[in-house]
Amino acid sequence: MALKILSIDDDPSITKLIRILLGIYGMEVITANSGKEGLELARSQAPDLVLLDIMMPEMNGWEVCQAIRSFSSVPIIAFSALGSPQEVEKALRLGFNDFIEKPSSAEILVERIQKLTAGKG
């Protein structure tokens, strides 16, 4: 069974690219272009992993991560242009499992997803 990845990013071009890219690696990708929509999909779709942007309007990635943590221990990767050591530390402290800075290579993205979902899919 394919890994089910939820990609949440307010930029539709990013979620489309992630869907195509991870699809090449045999993963099923569902996408959301807002934090609220992503949170609803995290509840209803039970993904194997969430790839979550930090900087989004209305409900940012920090808020989405904390909301998901209230009902799930699904691995969550922060996927953000905010790559300072302080931001990475904050992400890990607030419940993210990993942090990947945008832009990133497909190989790094897939490697980190596979590491966090070992034994699934």
d(CA 12, CA 71): 26
Element (H, E) at 21: helix 12-24
50-86, pLDDT tens digit by residue?
A: 999 999 999 999 999 999 999 999 999 999 988 789 9
% of the chain with per-residue pLDDT over 70: 99
> Model's pTM, two decimal places?
0.94
**DSSP for residue 10:** S
21-30, pLDDT tens digit by residue?
A: 999 999 999 9
- 1-49+61-76 adopts what CATH topology? Rossmann fold (3.40.50)
In the chain, what are the domain boundaries? 1-49+61-76
